[in-house]
Every structure is written in structure tokens, then in C-alpha cells.
Amino acid sequence: FQAPTVGGGLNMAREIVIAPSILSADFAKLGAEVEAIDRDGCDWVHLDVMDGHFVPNITFGPDVVAALRPHSDKVFDTHLMIAPCDLYLEAFAKAGSDIITVHAEAGPHLDRSLQYIRSLGKKAGVSLTPSTPESAIEYVLDKLDLVLVMTVNPGFGGQTFIPAQLEKIRAIRKMIGERPIHLEVDGGVNVDTAGLVAEAGADALVAGSAVFKNGDYAKNIAAIREAAMAGVAA
């Protein structure tokens, strides 16, 4: 787990983490796809878990995460779009997740879920859907390693970035202050939006379709990273 470079101001030099989402990979050869993004320069591997209940789509569970684990040593960034989540946290920890992120909207006891994730020895994240305000994390900041701002409504890859979320990203960057908490953004991140989210304060960018399109993952990852770094410097 790479500790975030924090240092106060919005525009301080920050390392940018690129986390391709395998939601846009070829599900018939997931192991090879994870190896490919690893080789092609990703920092983390983003794993989108959907239950057909919290979100209107179904992907994969802990057994698939465990099967992928031997294919890369990079950080496994597991984004749980499931409700309830507590029942499954141990399974995702045992499967080899490094970060486990739950949705603030997925249940009434976010604080408990976060404590549970840390008690399993994993980094704890909270994700906010576009309609959830940043105040949802105000009283759990000391139990957080990552905040994930959704810039689309969770459930599908390839959706259009929601610009109103930039204000939320800025507000959360301020709330984080000097704390060693990553600020990740997920949904519609591509070369056109990466700079905007980085400028607003994001230090970890998830990208699905923008990485897996047209087969040249190395080029796609590098282009997103370059666009993000231009935003940091802006």
C-alpha cells in the first residue's frame, strides 16, 4: 500500500495512482488481463463487486478476487457495491484485497464496517454515490484510509462523468487536510476529465473503459497519468 503524499494545499505535488477497473476487461481471460495492466504500468488493480441489489448489475465475488491474486503483486483495490456488506468483508480480506471500500449508502452502520475492515488488517475505504454529500464521512475520518468519490452512478462502466462532483472532491480534499487518506475518483475518468479531478484534489484515479479501449493499455494508462499530472501542476 502506497502512502499518499499529503502536504496541505490543493496543488501540492502529489503522486497520482492509476487504478484500472477490470469491469471493462475481457471476463473470459481475467487473469491475463490483470497481468497485462500490471505489466503496462498500473499502480493498483480496481475490482468492482456488484450484487444486483445495491446496484442494478452483477459482477463477481471473493472467489474471483482470490483466483486473480496470484496474477499480480499490485494493490488490490476492492470496491464493494453490495448491501449488506459486513457479512462478506472477511471473505474479501481473505481473498487478498489490500483496500476494501464500502458504500456509505449500503447500510446504517458505516463506522462499524470501517472498524471491521481494519480489524481484518486491511485498509478501509468509503465510497459516496453522486447524491451523497461529503458530510457522510465527517465523523469517521479517523477510521479511513481512502475516500472514493463516484463521478457516475455506480453499476456500469462507460458512463458520462458528472462535473458537479468536482466541488465535492475539493471539499473532501480540504476535510482530509494532513491525514494520510487517499482521495480516489471513479466513473467517466479519461484523458479529458483526469486533469479536472486531479486539480480538484484527487490522488487516485479509477478508469475502466478509458484503459481497456482499443488494446493499448500502456498507452492509455500513460495518457491518463499525464493528463492527471498536468491537472496537479495547474
What's the grid cell of residue 212?
Answer: 481497456
192, three cell numbers = 479529458
Name residues contacting ligand DX5, limited to 150-189 (CB under 6 A).
152, 154-155, 157-159, 186-189
Query: x/- site string to Zn ion, residues 167 to 206, per CB under 5 A?
Result: -------------------x--------------------
What SS3 state is found at 82? coil
For residue 79, state whether it binds Zn ion (rule: CB under 5 A): yes
Q: Please identify which of the residues 43, 48, 77, 145 carries the catalytic annotation.
A: 48
Q: Is 210 in the site for ligand DX5 (CB under 6 A)?
A: yes
Annotation says 186 is catalytic: yes
Binding of residue 193 to ligand DX5 (CB under 6 A)? no
Cis peptide before 84 (omega within 30 of 0): yes
**Taking CB under 6 A as the rule, does residue 33 contact ligand DX5?**
no
Does the footprint of ligand DX5 cover residue 48 (CB under 6 A)? yes
DSSP 174-195: HHHTTS--EEEEESS-STTTHH
Three-state DSSP state, 20: strand
Structure-block grid coordinates of residue 191: 484523458
Q: Which member of 24, 78, 97, 129 binds ligand DX5 (CB under 6 A)? A: 24
Cβ nearer to ligand DX5, comparing 115 with 159: 159
Asked if residue 203 binds ligand DX5 (CB under 6 A), the reply is: no
Binder of residue 24, out of Zn ion, ligand DX5, none (CB less than 5 to 8 A by kind): ligand DX5
Residue spans of alpha helices (H) in the chain = 30-39, 62-68, 86-94, 110-119, 165-176, 194-200, 209-212, 217-233
Residues with catalytic roles: 48, 186
